[in-house]
């Protein structure tokens, strides 16, 4: 197994170094003086900087006295970037004044269809890579040509797996064997780097006192924590107690946790697919938060152009069995104490593992280098500004990893 480092380069030095714009399929019509029809939605362009999508939508919903579910969106966009995306609502929305220095909300008109992932045709990226060494520009251009002609492997990138911990994996692993207590415990005590010290300390205390429910309740601060521990205290003998606690989780969060599980398994399946079907000298590995993944060094033909997301009917498709079994065995042996059979028929708040395929290789659309010049932030270095488009769900940061691969 041959590993690679990366060419010198920095991304997201400034918010304007990473710009994302959604392109959508919704038809919009101007707002007329006549009353808006009940079955239409207001369509807004949401521009933000240094905010993640969910946090600002929660604040917009609160400002307008509506549940978050009454604001529809297509994708979660990067925090450390300038992003343009579209949202819809049946109610006219206003933006809290306190956020107007970093966020803009522009009413575009009305549309008959609510915004969703299906509404996004593609995302256009304008990205600046800084602190590039001039002596490495030739290698960079070689990688550009490879990506233009052969694409890159369409892995989910690390930002999807912020909940991953080396000693416990991700909380949704525990759903595979219906270990609902394990899931609830890991979900409530899992920390991420961007959390405050207060939140991390509180979660550590909850984990340390797990099983002493009165103590956990007294430590709790969020409504979710309080509701779960209150329910456990009030129903100590209840059958399926922890399974019922899942109902306190927001539906959107359940959906996201299941997609994290699918993304983790997909990434590892595709790396195994490459490892087992491509000659070793044509593969280069790189390290990520959740494991080692493979990039191709040549435009090799793989057994499949697409690979399925894991779901409850996957074993009807026998050709994929070996790859899924390898990854599920790895998860069981490394992270799961509960050795009950794996059951993919997960159903939480009517949310299941989504059925679908994901392209293995992606070739970016309209890839172009806009300029190469002396870096105004890093002395004696170059900066490269580029533009390209990717379909919804693809990670520009994964393209950048392939672009900066040191070969």
Angstrom distance (rounded) from CA 111 to CA 310: 34
Which region, left, alpha or beta, applies to residue 321 given φ > 0 means left and ψ of -120 to 50 means alpha? alpha
Residue 33 has pLDDT above 90, yes or no: no
CATH number of 27-114: 3.30.70.3160
Structure confidence by residue, pLDDT tens digits, 147-184: 999 999 999 999 899 889 988 899 999 999 999 999 99
Check residue 310 and give its pLDDT. Answer: 96
Structural domain boundaries in the chain: 9-18+122-148+363-407, 27-114, 177-253
Res 252: pLDDT: 86
pLDDT on residue 38? 73
With a cut of 60, say whether residue 35 has pLDDT above it. no
- The residues pairing with 387 across neighbouring beta strands, listed in sequence order, are 126, 368
Q: What single DSSP character describes residue 8?
A: S
Q: What is the mean pLDDT of residues 365-376?
A: 97
Q: What integer pLDDT is reported at residue 39 of this predicted model?
A: 80
User: Does residue 256 have a pLDDT over 60?
Assistant: yes
Q: Considering the chain, what percentage of its residues have pLDDT values greater than 90?
A: 85
pLDDT tens by residue, 123-138: 999 999 999 999 999 9
The residue to which tokens 């993640």 are assigned: 52
pLDDT at res. 279:
95
Note the pLDDT of residue 30.
87
Write down the pLDDT at residue 328: 94
What average pLDDT does the segment 113-122 reach?
94
- For the cut 60, the answer to whether the pLDDT of residue 73 exceeds it is yes
Instruction: Mention every residue, 6+ apart, whose C-beta is less than 8 A from residue 110.
Output: 28, 29, 31, 36, 37, 40, 41, 42, 43
Q: How far apart are CA 107 and CA 34, in angstroms?
A: 16
227 band by pLDDT with thresholds 50, 70 and 90: very high
Q: Is residue 6 pLDDT above 80, yes or no? A: yes
What pLDDT was estimated at residue 107? 95
Token code pair at residue 124: 């256009």
């Amino acid at each position: 197994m041959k590993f690679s480092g990366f060419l010198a380069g920095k991304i997201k030095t400034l918010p304007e170094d990473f710009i994302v714009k959604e392109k959508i399929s919704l038809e919009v019509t101007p707002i007329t003086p006549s009353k808006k029809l009940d079955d239409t939605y207001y369509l807004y362009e949401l521009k933000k900087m240094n905010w993640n999508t969910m946090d600002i939508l929660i604040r917009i919903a609160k400002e307008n006295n509506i549940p978050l579910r009454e604001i529809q969106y297509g994708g979660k966009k990067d925090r450390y970037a300038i992003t343009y995306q579209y949202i819809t609502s049946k109610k006219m929305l206003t933006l809290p004044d306190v956020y107007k220095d970093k966020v803009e909300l522009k009413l575009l008109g009305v549309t008959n269809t609510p915004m969703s992932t299906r509404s996004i045709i593609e995302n256009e990226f304008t990205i600046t890579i800084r602190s590039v060494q001039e002596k490495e520009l030739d290698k960079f251009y070689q990688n550009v040509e490879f990506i233009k002609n052969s694409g890159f492997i369409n892995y989910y990138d690390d930002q999807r797996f912020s909940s991953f911990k080396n000693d416990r994996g991700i909380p949704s692993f525990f759903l595979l064997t219906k270990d609902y207590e394990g899931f609830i415990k890991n979900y409530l005590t899992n920390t991420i780097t961007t959390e405050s010290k207060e939140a991390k300390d509180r979660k550590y205390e909850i984990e340390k006192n797990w099983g002493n429910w009165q103590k956990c309740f007294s430590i709790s601060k969020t409504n979710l924590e309080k509701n779960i521990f209150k329910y456990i205290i009030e129903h100590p003998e209840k059958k399926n107690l922890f399974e019922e606690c899942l109902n306190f989780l927001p539906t959107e969060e359940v959906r996201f946790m299941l997609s994290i599980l699918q993304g983790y398994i997909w990434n590892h399946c595709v790396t195994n697919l490459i490892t087992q079907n491509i000659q070793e000298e044509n593969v280069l590995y790189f390290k990520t938060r959740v494991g080692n993944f493979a990039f191709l060094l040549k435009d090799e033909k793989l057994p499949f152009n697409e690979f399925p997301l894991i779901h409850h009917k996957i074993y009807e498709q026998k050709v994929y069995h070996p790859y899924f079994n390898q990854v599920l065995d790895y998860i069981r042996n490394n992270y799961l104490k509960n050795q009950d059979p794996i059951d993919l028929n997960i159903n939480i708040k009517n949310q299941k593992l989504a059925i679908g395929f994901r392209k293995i290789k992606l070739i970016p659309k309209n890839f172009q280098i806009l300029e190469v010049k002396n870096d105004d932030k890093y002395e004696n270095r170059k900066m490269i500004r580029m533009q390209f488009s990717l379909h919804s769900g693809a990670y520009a940061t994964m393209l950048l990893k392939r672009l900066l691969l040191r070969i």
